[in-house]
Amino acid sequence: MATTMVGPEFPDLGDELLYPRLSDHKLAKLRKLGEARTFAPGDVLYDQGVRDAPFHVILSGRVQLLDRKPGKDRPIAEVDPGTFVGDIAIFTGEPTVSRAVALEPTEAVVFTRPQLRELLAQWIELGDVVLRTMMARRAWHEREGHGVLRLIASRASRRAFEVRDLLERNLLPVHWYDVDTDPEADRMLGYLGLTREQTPVLVNVDRVLPNPSAAQVARDLHLRAEVDGERFDTVVLGAGPAGLAAAVYAGSEGLRTLVAEAWAPGGQAGTSTRIENYLGFPSGISGTELARKATLQARRFDAVLSSFHRAVELADGPEGLLRVDLDDGQHVLARTVVMATGARWRRLHADGVERFTGAGVYHAAMPSDGQRYAGEDVVVVGGGNSAGQAAVHLGARARSVRMVVRGEGLARTMSRYLVDRIERSPRIELMTETEVVAVHGEETIDAVTLRDRRDGSERRVRAVAVFVMIGADPCTDAARGVLDVDEAGYLLCGQGAADCAGHLRWPLRDRRPHMLETVRPGVFAAGDVRSGASKRVAAAVGDGALSVRFVHDVLMG
């Protein structure tokens, strides 16, 4: 039986952002629109780690929020009458990060997710307050370390890296306890009755997963949607900026929409530590924050988002529909499809890279990597914006960042604002006309060998991690044999699709393909996967929005 422990200082009930006060008029109106319920002391309003938890407006009484851990519950906040209890998970589909329990006899007005969505769509003023507060509360929880998953593992564990990457990219906060450097890791293992040999260990509320794979974690956290055999107006493949934009606009048009993403929302943009040239965010926005907000928007419009769910084949379905086969054996039927599958990072060809991939060699610098490699020496390979963002982010805390570039400089491949920051940073060393030829170490990386391409000379430098960002190749596996591509493998659409010959040529005589339409009527390409894309976040978002206009034309035609 769980025991209750004394918690930290609770957030101030007078905080207008975390505890907005609803007027008597609003409370009376909400009472009429929702279902009034009473809760006795100890009753659970909603549990931790669940999706679609109901929304409660507190009329009387008091509610406590608890962070549940194996064997103990930790009080972290309280809510009093005149405000509401809820979790941003009701919109994003994430698990809730706390349990809500009545402390005393409590009366509340309760709304389910569909009811709340309908209410906020009609009551815009209340919707703004609810969303702002829920996002602020989630940020507070994560900042204080409440409700986060706990991953106990060695820094050298490739399995742990994949789990952490899956969780962070799916907007599930996780704290890494390094068994090699963090004494708390040993204390937690002792408390759980586990040994280092059983790591990595993922602690999720009251469940402990020893040595889990990414697939096991995805299944345990229900990241994949159960949609087998269902029909959708449009199926979006990929949840990067293009796919999420398509989902938002399709959902807002009332189209039943599924987004199937092979790994996690955000795509490559979701790994960017800071995007500073995106319209409307003068101080920049992180890829994680952009992905979270876009996911929230898509779910608000009832789009179904399914992660760790890769499309493996497009085929003809019944009644003129398209069949989309998914990698877990499920399939869906679509009236239209938006291919927004993006591109995958190219791998670095150097001795030792394969051995350390995911255990010291990475293709993204996540927010937590700044902390993990504080005071260490790291290498960033690449000369584009993603590499520049990673170098700046890591350079804020690392002892040194060597930025290795094959070309003569950065001016042609990187935005000027990033070049300026790199040049100003005392911790970043730009090494042009240089390449990584070997990665060294036993269980972890301890050095890399660099070659000067001008004279062939080599030198070995200390490094504990290598971040590789050297371009990408299009993800078009599911479209093989169905859609035509250009010489580089990117999907042809618009005029390019109209000019195709052979068995993949455009089949209709009564109209030409729309601007983003592929050689298959009703199948569109958006973002980095399409031929001629500009490889910018704003352009991908524009593609996603524009594709829905053409989807609508096809469906109405």
Statement to judge: residues 170 and 196 lie in one domain: yes
> Is 453 a member of any domain?
yes
Distance of alpha carbon 374 from alpha carbon 356, whole angstroms? 20
Of 92, 114, 144, the last residue of a domain is 144
Kindly tell me the sign of the dihedral angle through the C-alpha atoms of 454, 456, 461, 465.
positive
Q: Please check whether residue 257 is in contact with residue 236, taking contact to mean a CB–CB distance below 8 angstroms.
A: yes
Distance of alpha carbon 472 from alpha carbon 489, whole angstroms? 11
Reading the chain (557 residues) residue by residue, the pLDDT tens digits are: 233 333 446 888 889 999 999 999 999 999 999 999 999 999 999 999 887 899 999 999 999 999 987 667 889 999 999 999 988 888 877 788 899 999 999 999 999 988 998 898 899 999 999 999 998 998 888 888 888 899 999 988 989 999 999 998 888 889 999 998 899 999 999 988 999 999 999 998 768 999 999 999 999 888 999 999 999 999 999 999 999 999 999 999 999 999 999 999 998 888 777 787 788 989 889 888 899 889 989 988 889 999 999 999 999 999 999 999 999 999 999 999 999 999 988 999 999 998 888 888 998 888 788 888 999 999 999 999 989 999 999 999 999 999 999 999 999 999 999 999 999 999 999 999 999 999 999 888 999 999 999 999 999 999 999 999 998 899 999 999 999 999 999 999 999 999 999 899 999 999 999 999 999 999 999 999 999 998 889 999 999 999 999 999 999 97
Statement to judge: residues 402 and 327 lie in one domain: no
Number of Cβ atoms within 10 Å of the Cβ of 430: 19
Statement to judge: residues 427 and 333 lie in one domain: no
CATH number at residue 195: 3.40.30.10
Statement to judge: residues 63 and 166 lie in one domain: no
CATH number at residue 91: 2.60.120.10
> Is 193 a member of any domain?
yes
CATH number at residue 407: 3.50.50.60
> Is 18 a member of any domain?
yes
Range of 139's domain? Answer: 3-144
Statement to judge: residues 357 and 452 lie in one domain: yes
What are the angstrom distances between the C-alpha of 290 and each of 169, 377, 540? Answer: 11, 29, 13
Of 94, 125, 144, the last residue of a domain is 144
Record the pTM.
Answer: 0.82
Statement to judge: residues 7 and 139 lie in one domain: yes
Statement to judge: residues 465 and 501 lie in one domain: no
Statement to judge: residues 44 and 7 lie in one domain: yes
Alpha-helical (H) ranges within 450-533 are 495-498
- Domain count along the chain: 4
> Is 226 a member of any domain?
no
Q: What is the DSSP letter of 530?
A: B
Statement to judge: residues 387 and 449 lie in one domain: yes
Statement to judge: residues 258 and 202 lie in one domain: no
Statement to judge: residues 457 and 366 lie in one domain: yes
Of 220, 252, 279, the last residue of a domain is 220
Statement to judge: residues 331 and 388 lie in one domain: no
> Is 107 a member of any domain?
yes
> Is 225 a member of any domain?
no
Distance of alpha carbon 269 from alpha carbon 170, whole angstroms? 13
> Is 391 a member of any domain?
yes
Q: Please check whether residue 272 is in contact with residue 250, taking contact to mean a CB–CB distance below 8 angstroms.
A: no
